[in-house]
Structure 1
Amino acid sequence: MTSLPSADLTAAVDSGRLMRHVEEFAKRIKLSGSVEELASFQYLQVQLDGIGYATRLILHDAYISLPVSARLEMAGLEPHCITH
């Protein structure tokens, strides 16, 4: 493996392609086990397969946590909090 100076690495980035990937992933909220998560995986799989990686999707039962709301009460106070 060769290492390039950071300026060379930066110059090698295709900013248009990078933005297309970012836009694709930003289209959906990807909660675990959702159709949206699967669609994002399938997009990524096509991209990786296209550059020579061998990918596969493994489906299995799993315990997942989906954020809904959070509440914290401490010594009579309720500070603002988030789920994750």
Structure 2
Amino acid sequence: MHIKTSLIVAGFAMCSLISNANAEMKRPSLEMKADRLESISKTVTQLNGNVVVRLGRTEIRTDKAKIVIAKHRVTVHTDTFVATAKK
């Protein structure tokens, strides 16, 4: 009886590990808001007026910004700094 109980508990533990391993990683979403958005190219967007850029839990607020989206990263250029994050 003790062996059956141990096997059942071990089976549940293995199922739990397998389901966690197969879970998809959630990628942070990119959210851009501004009074005026202008698409410069396929990968570059210019934002002007009350700009809010959110990537995951990170938020940037400024008057104007340029967003460059590459395959695996996002770069935010403002008047005072440049910020880069993985997508």
Higher relative CO (Cα under 8 Å, sequence separation at least 6) belongs to 2
**Would you call these one fold, judging by a TM-score over 0.5?**
no
1 or 2, which has the higher helix percentage?
Answer: 1
> Normalised by the size of structure 1, how large is the TM-score?
0.23
1 or 2, which has the higher strand percentage?
Answer: 2
> Normalised by the size of structure 2, how large is the TM-score?
0.22
Radius of gyration: which is bigger? Answer: 2
